[in-house]
Amino acid sequence: MRKALFLLMLLSLALPAQKAWASEGGEKSHASESKKDDAKEEKSGEKKDEKKKPATHKITQSESYVMLEPFYASIMDGSRPQGLLMVGIGLDIPNAQLRERVNTEMPRLRDAYVRSLMAFAAINTRAYRQPEVTDLADKLQAVTDRYLAAKGAKVLLAQVMIRLNK
């Protein structure tokens, strides 16, 4: 009840102050200031209609590098999941035409990577030892070459990590 009474008193004090500010020309002077700012922008050559692009974080300045989202596969021991294998990769594609083709074929390529990673995790990965990353890189490179039907895209491993269940 005290809070409601306090808010009511605060509101009753704020309304007359707002009316007094408006009657003294507060809104008009504010509007004239914004017109002056607009005139300054036009004189300086900047246009108000131009939209500024938001800043984006780039992994590298190289045009040929394409970063992919990490892939996950379960590490199984018999029929029980023991953890997750996470693999982060990127592709280095110097050829612009091949890079455009990779961008259009990305859903199929991601599917092939996930299926290959699941097979690798089932056969080669155990909870008690590290996976062989060179075998994994060779397997992902073979998948890339097969699905693109051309060489020229190099698979770069960014991260290979195992997260074990407790």
Contact indicator for 131, 85 with CB cutoff of 8 Å: yes
pTM for this one?
0.63
Domain assignment of residue 48, yes or no: no
In a domain, 77, yes or no: yes
| pLDDT, tens digit (0-9, with 9 covering 90-100), for 11-56 | 666 656 565 555 665 555 455 555 555 555 555 555 544 567 676 6
Q: In this structure, is residue 55 part of a structural domain? A: no
Specify whether 99 is located in the same domain as 139: yes
Q: Is residue 46 part of a domain?
A: no
pLDDT in tens, 84-119: 999 999 999 999 999 999 999 999 999 999 999 999
Look at residue 122 and tell me if it is in a domain.
yes
In terms of domains, do 130 and 71 share one?
A: yes
Which two structure tokens, joined as six digits, stand for 54?
């938001």
The verdict on residue 49 lying in a domain is no
Looking at the 3D structure of the chain, how many domains does it have?
Answer: 2
Q: Which residue segment(s) compose the domain that 120 sits in?
A: 65-164
Q: How far is CA 15 from CA 1, 23, 141, in A?
A: 22, 13, 70
SS3 state at 20: helix
